[in-house]
Amino acid sequence: MPATSYFITGTDTEVGKTVVTCAMLRAFVAKGARAVAMKPVASGCLVNADGGLDNEDVLAHAVAANVAAPRNLANPYAFLPPISPHLAAREAGVAIDMDHLVRCHGELRELADVVLVEGAGGWLAPLDESRTMADLAKAMNIPVVLVVGLRLGCLNHAMLTEEAILARGVRLAGWVANRVDPHMRNADDNLAYLQSHIAAPLLGVLPHHPGLHAAPQATVSIEAFRSEMLLDKGFGVDRLG
């Protein structure tokens, strides 16, 4: 049976997609699922001791997951400069192959019960001059989990992103609120507004955490995630479908 799979996107860059992906991985692992993550395209990498490229998001995924996936599947495209993936690919003389990404995702689904695909940037972050992360999620034919960074402007960003997701004919399975700004005024009022205006369920609220991977063990307890809404006892059966 093919794995349950979700595409993790955000209202912007640096809203905590990786923190959410890792917390979700831990939640699914705690429920007994074989869970793995995929970062289709990663820029802003470091050269490792073997001369290859490591991305901190990909490394964090590997710690949180319980399936050891080959790097060429978990992160098919890796680039050195911390710039938009389409620019990094262009500088490297690489054409990102959408079909290849879809195939890699399909192979990961044969290895696990749950596959979480973390996009780069926001929903419309470009892969090349004509395709975006939205096109990739559509090509993979999987529902989306939206990470909303709670900070000034989040209402507009969240509602625009929800509208854009639905306009692509992609299902929004749920959303996660991340308190990226600990000093945000009326944060709970903003959260309440989003709950009343986003039709998809709120899956969790993450407390503020200083730094992207500040808590290697688990930035949030698994109880913070309503993962039972995304995965049933059979693993591989999408409850929200």
Q: pLDDT tens, 165-216?
A: 999 999 999 999 999 999 999 999 999 999 999 999 998 888 887 654 444 4
126 falls within a domain:
yes
Q: Active-site positions?
A: 39
Q: Can you tell me the distance from the alpha carbon of 71 to that of 62, in angstroms, rounded to the nearest whole number?
A: 10
239 falls within a domain:
no
| Mean pLDDT across 44-54 | 91
SS3 129: coil
Query: Which residue, chain included where needed, has tokens 């290697």?
Result: 216
Tell me: pLDDT of 234 over 50: no
What is the structure's pLDDT at 155? 98
Residues near 13 by Cβ (< 8 Å), separated by ≥ 6?
Answer: 120, 121, 122, 125
235 falls within a domain:
no
Burial of 236 (0-12, 13-18, 19+ CB in 10 A): middle
236 falls within a domain:
no
81 falls within a domain:
yes
At 193, the amino acid letter reads Y
Q: Which of 154, 153, 134 is nearest to 198 (CA)?
A: 154
Residue 21 half-sphere exposure toward CB, CA atoms < 13 A: 32
What is the structure's pLDDT at 231? 55
Q: Can you tell me the distance from the alpha carbon of 191 to that of 21, in angstroms, rounded to the nearest whole number?
A: 20
Range of the domain at 117: 4-229
CA angle 108, 129, 168 (to 5 degrees): 60
SS3 8: strand
What is the structure's pLDDT at 68? 94
What is the structure's pLDDT at 206? 86
In the predicted model, what is the mean pLDDT of the chain?
88
Q: Which of 45, 39, 52 is nearest to 9 (CA)?
A: 39
237 falls within a domain:
no
Positive or negative, the Cα torsion across 10, 13, 16, 22?
A: positive
The two structure tokens encoding residue 140:
């993979």
What is the structure's pLDDT at 226? 58
71 falls within a domain:
yes
What is the structure's pLDDT at 211? 59
234 falls within a domain:
no
Confidence of residue 236 (pLDDT cuts 50, 70, 90): very low
Q: What is the pLDDT of residues 85-143, one digit of tens each?
A: 999 999 999 999 999 999 999 999 999 999 999 999 999 999 999 999 999 999 999 99
CATH of the domain at 79: 3.40.50.300
- Look at the chain and report how many structural domains it folds into: 1
Query: Which residue, chain included where needed, has tokens 């978990």?
Result: 74
Confidence of residue 232 (pLDDT cuts 50, 70, 90): very low
What is the structure's pLDDT at 12? 92
What is the structure's pLDDT at 218? 37
Confidence of residue 3 (pLDDT cuts 50, 70, 90): confident
The two structure tokens encoding residue 102:
């879809």
